[in-house]
Amino acid sequence: MQLIKNENKTGFRIQDELKNNKVITEGSILKMAKSITSINSLLVGLKTVNNSLLIKLQQLGFNTGLTLGSEQEYTVKTLVNAIDTLAIQFLTITANRNQFIQRTSYNERMEIESCLNSLLSCLQQTKMELADFQPDTYKCDQNLALFYTSDKDEYRSLKLLDAVHFIDMIKPYCRMLEMIIAQERIHALSAVLETLLSKENTAIAEKDNELTEEQTNALELSQYLIRQAM
């Protein structure tokens, strides 16, 4: 009787563990789905706000050719374009949900989400600042990017300046995404080359007797070089 009780207890314990694992698995799936949905939402927001930003800056008199950044690596124009490119890159890779999950950890996705959220906040605040900008009484600085003087002689800068910091934080992930996209293109090219080589080998087998030894060696060498490039 004692043995039956122990077996029952073991069975209940196994069932409890299975239930717990199921809850953990379902929780992980929900977390992954939520993180990707949030990232995509932020990317769409970035793309939407950023679309009209450059034109608005130019209309209000800001010189979009002035440089900014710790190493003066951007102009206002290239900064806006960099944000647009970043959004497109991320949207491209998150479209393949499974691959994005495989290539990133949950903590990395949280870091990406945080950076994107801060970047979107910069753009939204800049949009509000530009909406309140009075071109008749405010004066844009023609030497420092995104700085201006208000009608009360207050020297101010647009929040867009902070975007450089958050782009720098997210750059490592951008490079990772570029590598993933490049690898996808290489795999696609490899598949095409493999198909061509297969067809070529079939044709060679049919015409093998017609080739001289020198031609055969040259052909084998070219095939080897193609495979090395793959």
pLDDT at residue 69 is higher than 80: yes
What per-residue confidence (pLDDT) applies to 164?
A: 95
Query: Structure tokens of 113?
Result: 């989400």
CB 29 within 8 A of CB 106: no
What per-residue confidence (pLDDT) applies to 92?
A: 83
Q: Model confidence over 1-55: pLDDT tens digits?
A: 444 445 555 555 545 554 554 544 555 666 676 788 899 999 999 999 999 999 9
**Mean per-residue pLDDT for 192-211?**
62
What per-residue confidence (pLDDT) applies to 36?
A: 87
What per-residue confidence (pLDDT) applies to 212?
A: 66
- Return d(Cα 130, Cα 225) in angstroms, integer: 57
pTM of the model: 0.68
Looking at per-residue confidence, does 71 or 201 come out higher?
71
What per-residue confidence (pLDDT) applies to 24?
A: 44
Which sequence spans correspond to the domains of the chain?
2-181
What per-residue confidence (pLDDT) applies to 79?
A: 96
- Return d(Cα 140, Cα 57) in angstroms, integer: 10
What per-residue confidence (pLDDT) applies to 172?
A: 84
| Confidence tier at 195 by pLDDT (50, 70, 90) | confident
CB 149 within 8 A of CB 141: yes
- Return d(Cα 174, Cα 167) in angstroms, integer: 9
Q: Model confidence over 167-182: pLDDT tens digits?
A: 999 888 877 777 766 7
Residue 147: strand pairing partners: 157
Mean confidence (pLDDT) of the chain? 80
What per-residue confidence (pLDDT) applies to 228?
A: 56
| Confidence tier at 141 by pLDDT (50, 70, 90) | very high
